[in-house]
Structure 1
Amino acid sequence: MNAALPTTSLGPKVSFTGVEDPEAHLTTFHTQMTLTGGSDVVYCKMLMSTLSGAALEWFSSLPDGHITNFDQFATLFKEQYLVNKAPARLSYDVFYVKQYHGESMKDYLNRFGIQVVRLKPADEAMIVHAFVKGMLPEPFSESLLRVYPKTFTEIRRRALTHIAAHD
Protein backbone atom coordinates (compact mmCIF):
# COMPACT_ATOMS: atom_id res chain seq x y z
CA MET A 1 0.00 0.00 0.00
CA ASN A 2 3.01 2.29 0.33
CA ALA A 3 3.85 2.26 -3.39
CA ALA A 4 3.50 5.67 -5.02
CA LEU A 5 1.22 6.20 -7.97
CA PRO A 6 2.68 7.78 -11.12
CA THR A 7 2.22 11.55 -10.98
CA THR A 8 1.32 11.65 -14.67
CA SER A 9 -1.66 9.38 -14.14
CA LEU A 10 -5.17 10.67 -13.73
CA GLY A 11 -6.38 7.13 -13.19
CA PRO A 12 -8.91 5.11 -15.10
CA LYS A 13 -12.17 6.82 -16.05
CA VAL A 14 -14.37 3.83 -15.25
CA SER A 15 -16.47 2.83 -12.26
CA PHE A 16 -17.77 -0.51 -11.02
CA THR A 17 -20.68 -0.57 -8.58
CA GLY A 18 -21.25 -4.31 -8.44
CA VAL A 19 -23.93 -4.74 -11.10
CA GLU A 20 -21.79 -4.44 -14.26
CA ASP A 21 -20.01 -7.22 -16.14
CA PRO A 22 -16.68 -7.78 -14.32
CA GLU A 23 -14.93 -8.99 -17.51
CA ALA A 24 -15.97 -5.86 -19.40
CA HIS A 25 -14.82 -3.70 -16.49
CA LEU A 26 -11.41 -5.37 -16.39
CA THR A 27 -11.04 -5.05 -20.17
CA THR A 28 -11.81 -1.32 -20.02
CA PHE A 29 -9.54 -0.96 -16.98
CA HIS A 30 -6.62 -2.71 -18.73
CA THR A 31 -7.08 -0.58 -21.83
CA GLN A 32 -6.96 2.63 -19.82
CA MET A 33 -4.07 1.43 -17.65
CA THR A 34 -1.99 0.62 -20.71
CA LEU A 35 -1.60 4.38 -21.14
CA THR A 36 -0.55 4.81 -17.51
CA GLY A 37 1.74 1.84 -17.08
CA GLY A 38 2.94 1.02 -13.63
CA SER A 39 3.71 -1.92 -11.44
CA ASP A 40 1.50 -4.68 -10.11
CA VAL A 41 0.92 -2.58 -6.99
CA VAL A 42 -0.18 0.41 -9.07
CA TYR A 43 -2.65 -1.79 -10.94
CA CYS A 44 -4.11 -3.02 -7.63
CA LYS A 45 -4.48 0.50 -6.27
CA MET A 46 -5.99 1.79 -9.48
CA LEU A 47 -8.48 -1.08 -9.73
CA MET A 48 -9.46 -0.43 -6.13
CA SER A 49 -10.09 3.22 -7.04
CA THR A 50 -12.65 2.19 -9.68
CA LEU A 51 -14.87 0.45 -7.13
CA SER A 52 -17.91 2.17 -5.64
CA GLY A 53 -21.08 1.24 -3.80
CA ALA A 54 -21.48 -2.47 -3.04
CA ALA A 55 -18.25 -3.30 -4.89
CA LEU A 56 -16.26 -1.00 -2.61
CA GLU A 57 -17.99 -2.53 0.41
CA TRP A 58 -16.98 -6.00 -0.83
CA PHE A 59 -13.37 -4.88 -1.27
CA SER A 60 -13.32 -3.21 2.16
CA SER A 61 -14.55 -6.44 3.76
CA LEU A 62 -11.49 -8.39 2.58
CA PRO A 63 -8.93 -9.07 5.33
CA ASP A 64 -5.85 -6.83 5.37
CA GLY A 65 -3.04 -8.36 3.33
CA HIS A 66 -5.45 -10.72 1.54
CA ILE A 67 -4.53 -9.43 -1.92
CA THR A 68 -0.91 -10.06 -2.82
CA ASN A 69 -0.85 -9.28 -6.58
CA PHE A 70 -3.01 -7.96 -9.39
CA ASP A 71 -3.77 -11.34 -10.96
CA GLN A 72 -5.13 -12.57 -7.64
CA PHE A 73 -7.17 -9.37 -7.21
CA ALA A 74 -8.61 -9.72 -10.72
CA THR A 75 -9.49 -13.38 -10.09
CA LEU A 76 -11.21 -12.58 -6.78
CA PHE A 77 -13.05 -9.72 -8.45
CA LYS A 78 -14.28 -11.88 -11.36
CA GLU A 79 -15.36 -14.67 -8.99
CA GLN A 80 -17.25 -12.25 -6.74
CA TYR A 81 -19.22 -10.79 -9.65
CA LEU A 82 -19.42 -13.90 -11.85
CA VAL A 83 -23.22 -13.73 -11.91
CA ASN A 84 -22.98 -10.36 -13.73
CA LYS A 85 -20.86 -11.74 -16.55
CA ALA A 86 -22.46 -11.20 -19.94
CA PRO A 87 -23.50 -14.38 -21.72
CA ALA A 88 -21.08 -15.65 -24.31
CA ARG A 89 -21.72 -14.37 -27.80
CA LEU A 90 -21.89 -16.92 -30.56
CA SER A 91 -20.71 -16.26 -34.09
CA TYR A 92 -24.06 -17.20 -35.60
CA ASP A 93 -25.71 -14.43 -33.59
CA VAL A 94 -24.95 -12.20 -36.61
CA PHE A 95 -28.06 -13.77 -38.17
CA TYR A 96 -30.16 -11.88 -35.58
CA VAL A 97 -28.97 -8.52 -36.95
CA LYS A 98 -31.66 -7.32 -39.36
CA GLN A 99 -32.15 -4.05 -41.18
CA TYR A 100 -35.05 -2.10 -39.68
CA HIS A 101 -37.77 -0.59 -41.85
CA GLY A 102 -36.67 2.98 -42.52
CA GLU A 103 -33.06 2.29 -41.50
CA SER A 104 -30.51 3.55 -44.00
CA MET A 105 -28.06 1.16 -45.62
CA LYS A 106 -25.22 3.07 -43.97
CA ASP A 107 -26.73 2.65 -40.49
CA TYR A 108 -27.42 -1.06 -41.05
CA LEU A 109 -23.92 -1.60 -42.40
CA ASN A 110 -22.39 0.13 -39.36
CA ARG A 111 -24.60 -1.73 -36.87
CA PHE A 112 -23.86 -5.07 -38.55
CA GLY A 113 -20.13 -4.27 -38.62
CA ILE A 114 -20.13 -3.59 -34.88
CA GLN A 115 -21.65 -7.02 -34.27
CA VAL A 116 -19.04 -8.66 -36.50
CA VAL A 117 -16.31 -7.07 -34.38
CA ARG A 118 -18.01 -8.13 -31.14
CA LEU A 119 -18.75 -11.69 -32.24
CA LYS A 120 -15.53 -12.34 -34.18
CA PRO A 121 -17.04 -14.91 -36.56
CA ALA A 122 -14.28 -16.63 -38.50
CA ASP A 123 -16.35 -17.80 -41.46
CA GLU A 124 -16.42 -14.99 -44.05
CA ALA A 125 -19.11 -16.73 -46.11
CA MET A 126 -21.35 -16.86 -43.03
CA ILE A 127 -20.86 -13.13 -42.40
CA VAL A 128 -21.76 -12.31 -45.99
CA HIS A 129 -24.79 -14.59 -45.92
CA ALA A 130 -26.04 -13.14 -42.62
CA PHE A 131 -25.66 -9.57 -43.90
CA VAL A 132 -27.50 -10.26 -47.16
CA LYS A 133 -30.21 -12.25 -45.35
CA GLY A 134 -30.75 -9.37 -42.91
CA MET A 135 -31.23 -6.70 -45.58
CA LEU A 136 -34.58 -5.31 -46.60
CA PRO A 137 -35.47 -5.69 -50.29
CA GLU A 138 -34.13 -2.65 -52.14
CA PRO A 139 -31.95 -2.01 -55.19
CA PHE A 140 -28.69 -2.50 -53.28
CA SER A 141 -29.75 -5.84 -51.79
CA GLU A 142 -30.91 -6.96 -55.22
CA SER A 143 -27.51 -6.02 -56.67
CA LEU A 144 -25.83 -8.19 -54.04
CA LEU A 145 -28.04 -11.12 -55.01
CA ARG A 146 -27.20 -10.66 -58.70
CA VAL A 147 -23.45 -10.55 -58.05
CA TYR A 148 -22.98 -12.25 -54.70
CA PRO A 149 -20.09 -10.78 -52.66
CA LYS A 150 -17.29 -13.01 -51.39
CA THR A 151 -16.29 -10.89 -48.36
CA PHE A 152 -17.76 -8.36 -45.97
CA THR A 153 -15.09 -5.93 -47.15
CA GLU A 154 -16.48 -6.26 -50.66
CA ILE A 155 -19.96 -5.47 -49.31
CA ARG A 156 -18.59 -2.34 -47.62
CA ARG A 157 -16.89 -1.17 -50.82
CA ARG A 158 -20.00 -1.76 -52.91
CA ALA A 159 -22.20 -0.10 -50.28
CA LEU A 160 -19.95 2.96 -50.26
CA THR A 161 -20.31 3.26 -54.03
CA HIS A 162 -24.07 2.76 -53.76
CA ILE A 163 -24.45 5.32 -50.95
CA ALA A 164 -22.32 7.89 -52.80
CA ALA A 165 -24.41 7.44 -55.96
CA HIS A 166 -27.69 7.90 -54.10
CA ASP A 167 -26.87 10.78 -51.73
Structure 2
Amino acid sequence: MLSRVPGMLPPLEKAAPDSYANLPFVHAISIVAMPKGLNNPNMTLFDGTTNPFDHVCQYKQKMMIVTAIGHVKEACMCKGFRITLSGPALRWLVSLPNRSISTFADLVIAFTQQFASCRKPQNHTGYLYRIVQGANETIVEFNTRFNNEKVAVREYDVSTAVEAFRRGLHHESDLYKQVTMHPCHSFEVVQEKSTAAIRLEEDMLVRASLPSTPSISSTSAIEKSSRKQSVGKKEE
Protein backbone atom coordinates (compact mmCIF):
# COMPACT_ATOMS: atom_id res chain seq x y z
CA MET A 1 0.00 0.00 0.00
CA LEU A 2 2.85 2.41 0.76
CA SER A 3 4.37 1.86 -2.70
CA ARG A 4 1.15 3.10 -4.30
CA VAL A 5 1.30 6.49 -2.56
CA PRO A 6 2.78 9.12 -4.95
CA GLY A 7 6.18 10.38 -3.81
CA MET A 8 6.55 7.70 -1.17
CA LEU A 9 9.95 6.03 -1.03
CA PRO A 10 9.96 2.23 -1.37
CA PRO A 11 10.51 0.30 1.86
CA LEU A 12 14.06 -0.63 2.74
CA GLU A 13 15.12 -4.12 1.79
CA LYS A 14 16.55 -6.30 4.49
CA ALA A 15 20.12 -7.43 3.95
CA ALA A 16 20.77 -11.13 3.85
CA PRO A 17 22.77 -12.55 6.82
CA ASP A 18 25.63 -13.60 4.51
CA SER A 19 25.58 -10.49 2.29
CA TYR A 20 29.05 -9.52 3.52
CA ALA A 21 30.42 -12.41 1.45
CA ASN A 22 28.91 -11.08 -1.80
CA LEU A 23 31.94 -9.67 -3.60
CA PRO A 24 32.39 -8.92 -7.31
CA PHE A 25 35.87 -10.48 -7.33
CA VAL A 26 36.68 -14.16 -7.55
CA HIS A 27 37.94 -16.00 -4.50
CA ALA A 28 41.58 -15.87 -5.66
CA ILE A 29 41.47 -12.05 -5.57
CA SER A 30 39.29 -11.65 -2.48
CA ILE A 31 41.60 -13.67 -0.20
CA VAL A 32 44.70 -11.61 -1.08
CA ALA A 33 45.60 -9.15 1.66
CA MET A 34 46.59 -5.68 0.54
CA PRO A 35 50.26 -4.87 1.29
CA LYS A 36 50.71 -2.75 4.42
CA GLY A 37 52.97 -0.29 2.64
CA LEU A 38 50.48 0.31 -0.17
CA ASN A 39 49.05 3.82 0.00
CA ASN A 40 45.70 4.67 -1.49
CA PRO A 41 46.12 6.38 -4.89
CA ASN A 42 45.80 10.11 -4.39
CA MET A 43 43.41 11.01 -7.21
CA THR A 44 39.99 12.50 -7.82
CA LEU A 45 37.16 10.08 -7.07
CA PHE A 46 35.08 8.94 -10.02
CA ASP A 47 31.34 9.51 -9.49
CA GLY A 48 30.10 8.54 -12.94
CA THR A 49 30.11 12.01 -14.52
CA THR A 50 33.59 12.20 -16.08
CA ASN A 51 35.51 10.25 -18.71
CA PRO A 52 35.99 6.64 -17.49
CA PHE A 53 38.95 6.06 -19.81
CA ASP A 54 40.81 9.01 -18.33
CA HIS A 55 40.12 7.69 -14.84
CA VAL A 56 41.52 4.24 -15.70
CA CYS A 57 44.65 5.77 -17.26
CA GLN A 58 45.25 7.94 -14.21
CA TYR A 59 44.70 4.98 -11.89
CA LYS A 60 47.22 2.85 -13.78
CA GLN A 61 49.83 5.60 -13.56
CA LYS A 62 49.27 5.98 -9.82
CA MET A 63 49.53 2.23 -9.24
CA MET A 64 52.79 1.88 -11.17
CA ILE A 65 54.66 2.60 -7.94
CA VAL A 66 53.23 -0.52 -6.28
CA THR A 67 56.07 -2.91 -5.48
CA ALA A 68 53.83 -6.03 -5.35
CA ILE A 69 54.52 -8.60 -8.07
CA GLY A 70 52.86 -11.62 -9.64
CA HIS A 71 49.29 -12.54 -8.76
CA VAL A 72 49.39 -10.08 -5.85
CA LYS A 73 49.76 -7.25 -8.32
CA GLU A 74 46.56 -8.29 -10.10
CA ALA A 75 44.65 -8.43 -6.83
CA CYS A 76 45.98 -5.04 -5.74
CA MET A 77 44.87 -3.46 -9.00
CA CYS A 78 41.35 -4.87 -8.61
CA LYS A 79 40.83 -4.22 -4.91
CA GLY A 80 42.48 -0.80 -5.00
CA PHE A 81 40.25 0.41 -7.82
CA ARG A 82 37.14 0.50 -5.64
CA ILE A 83 38.82 3.10 -3.42
CA THR A 84 38.78 5.56 -6.34
CA LEU A 85 35.00 5.33 -6.83
CA SER A 86 32.18 7.23 -5.17
CA GLY A 87 28.44 7.73 -5.49
CA PRO A 88 26.77 5.92 -8.42
CA ALA A 89 30.08 4.41 -9.56
CA LEU A 90 30.68 2.78 -6.20
CA ARG A 91 27.11 1.49 -6.07
CA TRP A 92 27.61 0.00 -9.52
CA LEU A 93 30.71 -1.90 -8.38
CA VAL A 94 28.91 -3.25 -5.32
CA SER A 95 25.95 -4.36 -7.47
CA LEU A 96 28.08 -6.49 -9.82
CA PRO A 97 27.28 -10.21 -9.82
CA ASN A 98 29.07 -12.18 -7.15
CA ARG A 99 32.48 -13.54 -8.26
CA SER A 100 32.08 -12.05 -11.76
CA ILE A 101 35.47 -10.27 -11.93
CA SER A 102 38.53 -12.50 -12.26
CA THR A 103 41.10 -10.04 -13.69
CA PHE A 104 41.72 -6.32 -13.77
CA ALA A 105 41.02 -6.40 -17.52
CA ASP A 106 37.51 -7.73 -16.79
CA LEU A 107 36.97 -4.89 -14.34
CA VAL A 108 38.13 -2.25 -16.82
CA ILE A 109 35.90 -3.61 -19.60
CA ALA A 110 32.85 -3.67 -17.37
CA PHE A 111 33.65 -0.22 -15.95
CA THR A 112 34.19 1.52 -19.31
CA GLN A 113 31.11 -0.10 -20.84
CA GLN A 114 28.94 0.98 -17.93
CA PHE A 115 30.05 4.64 -18.08
CA ALA A 116 30.80 4.91 -21.81
CA SER A 117 28.13 7.60 -22.17
CA CYS A 118 30.25 9.93 -20.00
CA ARG A 119 33.09 9.83 -22.49
CA LYS A 120 33.65 13.09 -24.34
CA PRO A 121 34.11 12.85 -28.12
CA GLN A 122 37.66 13.53 -29.27
CA ASN A 123 38.19 16.38 -31.70
CA HIS A 124 40.12 16.28 -34.94
CA THR A 125 42.85 18.76 -35.83
CA GLY A 126 40.34 20.79 -37.85
CA TYR A 127 38.66 21.71 -34.56
CA LEU A 128 41.61 24.03 -33.85
CA TYR A 129 40.30 26.46 -36.49
CA ARG A 130 37.55 27.38 -34.02
CA ILE A 131 40.09 28.78 -31.55
CA VAL A 132 40.37 32.52 -32.17
CA GLN A 133 42.25 35.09 -30.12
CA GLY A 134 39.86 37.31 -28.20
CA ALA A 135 39.77 41.08 -28.53
CA ASN A 136 41.45 41.64 -25.15
CA GLU A 137 43.27 38.29 -24.98
CA THR A 138 47.05 38.39 -24.72
CA ILE A 139 49.33 36.17 -26.76
CA VAL A 140 50.29 34.09 -23.73
CA GLU A 141 46.60 33.47 -22.89
CA PHE A 142 45.79 32.51 -26.49
CA ASN A 143 48.89 30.32 -26.73
CA THR A 144 48.00 28.46 -23.52
CA ARG A 145 44.39 27.94 -24.58
CA PHE A 146 45.42 26.73 -28.04
CA ASN A 147 47.98 24.25 -26.67
CA ASN A 148 45.44 22.83 -24.19
CA GLU A 149 43.02 22.15 -27.02
CA LYS A 150 45.76 20.81 -29.29
CA VAL A 151 46.72 18.12 -26.78
CA ALA A 152 43.16 16.76 -26.75
CA VAL A 153 42.75 16.37 -30.53
CA ARG A 154 42.80 13.02 -32.31
CA GLU A 155 44.68 12.29 -35.55
CA TYR A 156 47.01 15.25 -35.05
CA ASP A 157 48.24 16.95 -38.23
CA VAL A 158 51.15 19.39 -37.96
CA SER A 159 50.41 21.56 -41.00
CA THR A 160 46.78 21.94 -39.99
CA ALA A 161 47.71 22.91 -36.43
CA VAL A 162 50.22 25.52 -37.65
CA GLU A 163 47.71 27.06 -40.05
CA ALA A 164 44.97 27.05 -37.42
CA PHE A 165 47.26 28.86 -34.97
CA ARG A 166 48.14 31.49 -37.59
CA ARG A 167 44.52 32.14 -38.53
CA GLY A 168 43.50 32.38 -34.90
CA LEU A 169 45.80 35.33 -34.21
CA HIS A 170 44.82 38.99 -34.50
CA HIS A 171 45.44 40.08 -38.08
CA GLU A 172 47.16 43.24 -36.90
CA SER A 173 49.49 41.56 -34.40
CA ASP A 174 53.22 41.34 -35.06
CA LEU A 175 53.20 37.58 -34.45
CA TYR A 176 50.57 37.08 -37.15
CA LYS A 177 52.67 39.08 -39.59
CA GLN A 178 55.81 37.08 -38.77
CA VAL A 179 54.27 33.63 -39.18
CA THR A 180 52.55 34.81 -42.38
CA MET A 181 55.62 36.34 -44.02
CA HIS A 182 57.84 33.48 -42.84
CA PRO A 183 55.75 30.26 -42.89
CA CYS A 184 56.56 27.69 -40.21
CA HIS A 185 56.87 24.01 -41.14
CA SER A 186 56.67 22.71 -37.57
CA PHE A 187 54.80 23.73 -34.45
CA GLU A 188 58.10 23.97 -32.55
CA VAL A 189 59.08 26.93 -34.75
CA VAL A 190 55.68 28.48 -34.11
CA GLN A 191 56.27 28.15 -30.37
CA GLU A 192 59.69 29.80 -30.66
CA LYS A 193 58.21 32.82 -32.41
CA SER A 194 55.31 32.86 -30.00
CA THR A 195 57.68 32.85 -27.02
CA ALA A 196 59.59 35.80 -28.47
CA ALA A 197 56.33 37.69 -29.01
CA ILE A 198 55.26 36.92 -25.44
CA ARG A 199 58.53 38.36 -24.07
CA LEU A 200 57.99 41.52 -26.09
CA GLU A 201 54.37 41.77 -24.99
CA GLU A 202 55.26 41.35 -21.32
CA ASP A 203 58.05 43.92 -21.55
CA MET A 204 55.70 46.45 -23.15
CA LEU A 205 53.16 45.89 -20.38
CA VAL A 206 55.83 46.46 -17.73
CA ARG A 207 57.03 49.64 -19.43
CA ALA A 208 53.46 50.90 -19.69
CA SER A 209 53.00 50.49 -15.93
CA LEU A 210 56.14 52.52 -15.10
CA PRO A 211 56.05 56.32 -14.56
CA SER A 212 56.42 58.19 -17.82
CA THR A 213 59.85 59.74 -18.52
CA PRO A 214 60.48 62.67 -20.87
CA SER A 215 61.70 61.71 -24.30
CA ILE A 216 65.12 62.69 -25.66
CA SER A 217 63.69 65.43 -27.83
CA SER A 218 61.69 66.96 -24.98
CA THR A 219 64.75 66.75 -22.70
CA SER A 220 66.85 68.59 -25.28
CA ALA A 221 64.21 71.29 -25.59
CA ILE A 222 64.17 71.80 -21.82
CA GLU A 223 67.98 72.07 -21.74
CA LYS A 224 67.97 74.66 -24.57
CA SER A 225 65.31 76.70 -22.81
CA SER A 226 67.35 76.61 -19.57
CA ARG A 227 70.50 77.75 -21.38
CA LYS A 228 68.63 80.64 -23.04
CA GLN A 229 67.26 81.78 -19.70
CA SER A 230 70.73 81.67 -18.12
CA VAL A 231 72.27 83.60 -21.04
CA GLY A 232 69.53 86.24 -20.80
CA LYS A 233 70.18 86.72 -17.10
CA LYS A 234 73.90 87.20 -17.70
CA GLU A 235 73.33 89.87 -20.36
CA GLU A 236 71.06 91.75 -17.98
Q: TM-score, normalised by structure 1?
A: 0.91
Identity, in percent, stands at 23
Deviation at 1:122, TM superposition (A): 3.4
Deviations 1:9-66 (A, max 9, x none): 3222231112222112111111211233541111111111111111111111112211
Whole-Å separation in 1 of the counterparts to 2:193 and 2:186: 11
Deviating beyond 3 angstroms after TM superposition, the runs of 4 or more aligned structure 1 residues are none
Whole-Å separation in 2 of the counterparts to 1:119 and 1:37: 34
Deviation at 1:119, TM superposition (A): 1.2
Q: TM-score, normalised by structure 2?
A: 0.66
Whole-Å separation in 2 of the counterparts to 1:46 and 1:87: 28
Whole-Å separation in 2 of the counterparts to 1:90 and 1:18: 25
Unpaired segments ≥5 residues, structure 2 = 1-29, 204-236
Structure having greater relative contact order (Cα 8 Å, sep ≥ 6)? 1
Whole-Å separation in 1 of the counterparts to 2:65 and 2:130: 36
Deviation at 1:2, TM superposition (A): 2.3
Contact 1:92–1:121, Cα closer than 8 Å, also in 2: no
Aligned partner (choices 35, 39, 59) of residue 10 of structure 1:
39
Contact 1:132–1:144, Cα closer than 8 Å, also in 2: yes
Deviation at 1:131, TM superposition (A): 0.3
Point out the structure with max Rg over C-alpha.
2
Whole-Å separation in 1 of the counterparts to 2:99 and 2:187: 51
Contact 2:133–2:168, Cα closer than 8 Å, also in 1: yes
When structure 1 is superposed on structure 2, of 149-158 and 6-15 the one drifting more is 6-15
Whole-Å separation in 2 of the counterparts to 1:89 and 1:122: 10
2:134 maps to a residue whose letter is Y
What residue in structure 1 maps to residue 192 of structure 2? 157
Unpaired segments ≥5 residues, structure 1 = none
Whole-Å separation in 1 of the counterparts to 2:134 and 2:155: 22
Within 5 A, what are the aligned runs for 1:9-158? 9-12=38-41, 13-36=43-66, 38=68, 39-137=73-171, 138-158=173-193
Deviation at 1:121, TM superposition (A): 4.5
Deviation at 1:129, TM superposition (A): 0.3
